[in-house]
Amino acid sequence: MHTPDCAILGMGYLGRPLAEKMFEGGSRVSALKRSIISDDINLPVNLHAADLNDTRVFQADFWQAWADNPVWFCLLPPSAVSDYPAVLAGWLQLARHFGIGHIVYASSTSVYGDAVRECGEHTPPDPQTESARKVRQAEELLLGSGIANIDILRLGGLYCAERHPLHSLLKRKHLAGAHQPVNMLHRSRAVAALHHAAATPAGLRIRNIVEPQHPPKHEFYRAEAAKLGLPEPEFDTDDRCGGKTVHTVYNDFAGILL
């Protein structure tokens, strides 16, 4: 599979391992993050730092290094900037200016809301939180951008041993949603899906990237606690409220999710 040259907006939890995977595949990688730390110095990446809240940021000279990279990734979460839609709109305008033909956006299954239902790619979004509404706004900007190849990957809840949601759950007692199905995605699978999308442009494409198993929350986190050698979180098992189950109706990412 050909690994194209790329640029990554958001060099954090997903961005760093993605940059490494793309580089290992032969890609020239440019990236942007808020600040550069000592661990970044030896990365094989053309890395710059900038404050995306600065309205002049898109006039900066470093963007010229992105112009020859045919694929741009957006891994930026809404919490990273004060006006998420405005930042995404400015970034997309820059992409159009450079004639970029492929954008890959790390979206979220949060756009489906919390109602008890089965959610495939054709299920209407129903974002309930401010963050989810901003993600949905970003999706709409991308779909209306006029860029030929747009990949919107709605990622499940991310986890890995290095940074696991279990740690925050262990700080709380009597957790709700014990019997809600989980819609999770290991970070390694998320990175593999982003790489696959970059290597296989296919016009406008929305995909749910979620592991096919959906055990109840209390079962999933009990198993994860055993793997990590941590205590089990305390769920209120009398709470019978349900939740959504997210799946994909397509098979083009199936090999990654198995």
Q: Note whether 11 and 106 are within 8 A (CB).
A: no
CATH of the domain at 196: 3.40.50.720
Residue 132 included in any domain: yes
H or E element that contains 193: helix 187-199
Residue 178 included in any domain: no
Residue 236 included in any domain: no
Kindly report the number of other CB atoms within 10 A of residue 165's CB atom. Answer: 14
Instruction: Say whether pLDDT at 127 is over 80.
Output: yes
Residue 93 included in any domain: yes
pLDDT of residue 113: 97
pLDDT category, 183, cuts 50, 70, 90? Answer: very high
CA-based end-to-end distance of the chain = 19
Q: Note whether 102 and 71 are within 8 A (CB).
A: yes
Backbone angles phi and psi of 50, in degrees to 5: -165, 155
Residue 106 included in any domain: yes
Residue-range definition of the domain harbouring residue 27: 6-160+184-212+245-257
Q: Note whether 150 and 103 are within 8 A (CB).
A: yes
Q: How many CA atoms lie within 13 A of 154 on its CB side?
A: 25
State the average pLDDT over residues 204-218: 97
pLDDT of residue 130: 97
Nearest to 100 by CA among 55, 50, 151: 151
Residue 16 included in any domain: yes
Q: Note whether 14 and 194 are within 8 A (CB).
A: yes
H or E element that contains 20: helix 15-24
Instruction: Say whether pLDDT at 41 is over 80.
Output: no
Residue 238 included in any domain: no
Number of folded domains that form the chain:
1
Percent of the chain's residues with pLDDT above 70: 100
State the average pLDDT over residues 3-28: 95
